[in-house]
Chain A
Amino acid sequence: MFDNLIGQSEIKRQLEFYSQAYQKTSVVPFLLLNGAKGLGKTEFLKQFSKSLTNTDGKPRPMLELNSSTIKNNQMFFEQIFMPIVQNNEVTLFFDECHALPKDLVMAFLSILNTERTPFKEFNWREFTFEFNFTKISMIFATTELDKLFAPLKDRMTILDFKPYKTDELSEIIKGRLEDVEFEDGVLEDIASTTRGNARSAVKRAKEIETYCETQNSNVFMKEEWNRLRQILGIKPLGLTNIEIQILDILKERGPSTLQTIAAVTGMSRTAIQKDAELYLLQKALMKIDGTREITRLGTEVLNEIKEKGF
């Protein structure tokens, strides 16, 4: 089912299990795909929905909804449910479901409460809507699980996506560039700049493809990689300029408070905590022990950036 998708072995196993169960029960549990952006939630779900066959033998279509554009029940029932979902066999995929409006979340609390039968009737205004979950599959995805209303979360089966390993990212890049020959170690080096993110790996593969086309070459050596890095400003570990700036502050000033970093960078404390620090902590380039401090690895990476002029 997921032959063309790399990594996320646990997710694959779980989805395959639910797909096989569907062949017997015609019902899919209310799945909630949780994970950071670019980990392949939508791609995996597309493959999963494709494996569900409708009564006419065709793969079940998937309606991908941007949850933040649904403002209320009326928009959902009038624009989505009545014209597209009702009387059809379809998978409803609510992307970024933490942004669903409150009244729809409340409606889903009762709609998804199907412990005994896969049918639910929901009354809204003068209408009665029938949710037949042998025909409708409802799947949700979020990057911010903590923002989802807990009782709604309880009604769902949560599947956690994990960051990709370097070898998986290398495989993703190589899979997109089958005609390109890489020097030993280069693919791993490229993969290390994609921050564990499959979407970034695909994007990087596209950049390499464009470079090879402009150079009329199918061989990608270390020299080519370094040249491409210089052109596109790709830093070691895929660090961003603000992350490098924070490392620089910590190296120059020694252990510093969040307030100091915010004052020097001009960023808000929240932005630093949410956007910049996480990856530095994840890669052990800095540590927090009362104050923020650069690690030995952080100093080495910073020196490399300065020496090589990235």
Chain B
Amino acid sequence: MGTDQIKGEVVCQGQPWLLIESNLPSRFEMELFLVSLYFLLTGAIICGLIPSVMENNTTSFTENETIKRGRGRPAGSNSFEHVQIKHLLSFLSEEASVPVSKLWMRDTLGVIIAARPIQVIKNEQPEETEEKVQFALNTFEE
């Protein structure tokens, strides 16, 4: 048994929650301490004594504002799958149009698709007739 002492505290939501003070002279005692601590914390989470951060999808940012987590494509995920042409042809005819990404075309075929010109849609509604002032001119010429 050694005489060295370790101290520590478990902090939950900015508040000290558990104070640890122990003499850990040997590796066995250290492992035993860590295992105990693991079970202690797990039990506390299960009992609801410590709110689980993992359960929250939102983190408080300011009093009135929240930032959503989990939006957008997760890192590493992909929208495309590799499929053999012969498998596709069992579902589609040779005339079928299949969407492929511009990036794939550029990298595989070396084809660069020019951006489509922006189509300006004209307002087909008839223009409002300009309002006219009603007047009559009397010239008094015989």
Contacts and interface: CB of A to CB of B under 8 A. Distances in A.
Interface of A: 46, 49-50, 58-66, 69-71, 75-76, 79-80, 84
A69 B140 contact: no
Contacts of B133: 65-66, 69-70, 75-76, 79-80
Contact of B132 (A61, A69, A84): A69
A266 B133 CA distance: 36
Contacts of A60: 140
Nearest to B135: A65
B138 A46 contact: yes
22 contacts: A49-B138, A49-B140, A58-B140, A59-B139, A59-B140, A59-B141, A60-B140, A61-B137, A61-B139, A63-B136, A63-B137, A64-B135, A64-B138, A65-B133, A65-B134, A66-B134, A66-B135, A69-B131, A69-B133, A69-B134, A79-B132, A80-B135
A34 B138 CA distance: 21
Contacts of B139: 59, 61
B137 A84 contact: yes
Given A58-B140, A66-B133, 16 more contacts: A59-B140, A59-B141, A60-B140, A61-B137, A62-B138, A62-B140, A63-B136, A63-B138, A64-B135, A64-B137, A64-B138, A65-B135, A69-B131, A71-B131, A76-B133, A84-B137
A8 B136 CA distance: 25
A63 B141 contact: no
**Interface residues of B, dominant DSSP:** loop
Nearest to B139: A61
A58 to B, nearest CB: 7
A33 to B, nearest CB: 16
Nearest to A65: B135
A47 to B, nearest CB: 10
Contacts of B136: 63-64
Contacts of B140: 46, 49-50, 58-62
A7 to B, nearest CB: 22
A80 B132 CA distance: 10
Contacts of B132: 69, 79
Pairs A-B, 5 closest by C-beta atoms? A66-B134, A59-B140, A69-B134, A62-B138, A64-B136
Contacts of B135: 63-66, 80
Tell me which of B132, B136, B138 has the highest count of chain A C-beta atoms within 10 A of its own C-beta. Answer: B138
Interface string B94-138: 000000000000000000000000000000000000011111111
A62 B140 CA distance: 8
Contacts of A46: 138, 140
A41 to B, nearest CB: 14
Nearest to B136: A64
Contact of B141 (A58, A65, A71, A75): A58
Interface string B69-97: 00000000000000000000000000000
Interface string B20-56: 0000000000000000000000000000000000000
A58 B138 CA distance: 12
B141 to A, nearest CB: 7
A40 to B, nearest CB: 15
B41 to A, nearest CB: 75
A49 B139 CA distance: 10
B131 A75 contact: yes
